[in-house]
Amino acid sequence: MPCKTIPKTDRRSRLVSFLFGLGVFLRMRKMMTEDNHDNMTTAKTSVGQNSRRIIGRILPEVIWYIASMFWAWISIAGYALFAALAFGLRSFVQYRRTGSSGFHVAKAQGMARFAALLIGAAKVAWLMAPVSILLGWLSLISAMDNRELHIAGIAAAVFGMIVTVYGQFAMGDSWRVGIDSTQRTALVTDGPFRWVRNPIYDGLLIFAAGIVLIIPTWLALISFGMLIVSIEVQVRCVEEPYMLGMHGQSYRSWAARTGRFIPFVGRRW
């Protein structure tokens, strides 16, 4: 008999159910292990008292975990939407316009490759933050775990997404990911580039900060720090020397009046 193909929607729902069940199981197993250890080292109590105490500890933990899962899935949805718009859609438009996807990361060498590896590592850690919550490996930082901050994080993530996509489309045919020294593109100084030289990275950092507020874990904070360092290396050590060598005095004049990430801050030459 031919094998029955499982629809993609069913596969996704099964994956979600599996992650949810696995996370709850790991959380409850941890709590039960702690309680069993306590039972062996504390005074004797009745079975009923033990059962009520265990349920009293596990139930709030499970409720908290379900709430954490909600914010984790919100952040994963944000990742997916950001990737679809900032890379998928923009690359598709670029290919339709120029015949090139705009991706030149594979050609990176030296500091460009080092910066690309840093950014890649930051993105992996960034994505693992919500996954670690779903699997019960990490918990939200209690001082930052409140609804107002989570909602503010969603607003920041949406705003950062808008800034990123706006900056990408403002570049027109000059948009690219990575650097190709054999390709010459026009210097874009209008749109959001009138105020800062790197509005796309600004949008990415705002989006990343929003994700940290949505799922505030130590891993999310570390990945945000890694992202800041990798962007600084990419901009200062790779892109600015490349742009200066390609556009010369035009780039000098623009950089002298336009801030690097913040208006009027980081102007050069």
Using the predicted structure, report yes or no on whether residue 30 has a pLDDT greater than 70.
Answer: no
**Average pLDDT of span 236-254:** 90
126 vs 65, residue with greater confidence: 126
Q: Token pair for residue 20?
A: 């949810």
CB 97 within 8 A of CB 175: no
Distance CA 85, CA 162 (A): 9
Using the predicted structure, report yes or no on whether residue 188 has a pLDDT greater than 80.
Answer: yes
Least confident of 38-42, 133-137, 177-181: 38-42
Using the predicted structure, report yes or no on whether residue 58 has a pLDDT greater than 80.
Answer: no
Q: Which of 215, 91, 101, 225 is nearest to 165 (CA)?
A: 91
CB neighbour list of residue 199: distance below 8 Å, 6 or more residues apart: 163, 166, 167, 170, 192, 193
Using the predicted structure, report yes or no on whether residue 118 has a pLDDT greater than 70.
Answer: yes
pTM score of the predicted model: 0.75
CB 136 within 8 A of CB 27: yes
Using the predicted structure, report yes or no on whether residue 249 has a pLDDT greater than 70.
Answer: yes
**All domains of the chain in start order, with CATH:** 69-257 (1.20.120.1630)
Instruction: Give the pLDDT band (50/70/90) at residue 27.
Output: low
Range among 39-53, 73-87, 100-114, 200-214 rated most confident: 200-214
Instruction: Give the pLDDT band (50/70/90) at residue 2.
Output: very low
Any alpha helices (H) in 135-196, and if so which ranges?
147-170
Report pLDDT for 174: 86
Instruction: Give the pLDDT band (50/70/90) at residue 154.
Output: very high
Distance CA 183, CA 179 (A): 8
Least confident of 33-42, 57-66, 195-204, 239-248: 33-42
Angle CA(78)–CA(81)–CA(86) in degrees, nearest 5? 115
106 vs 84, residue with greater confidence: 84
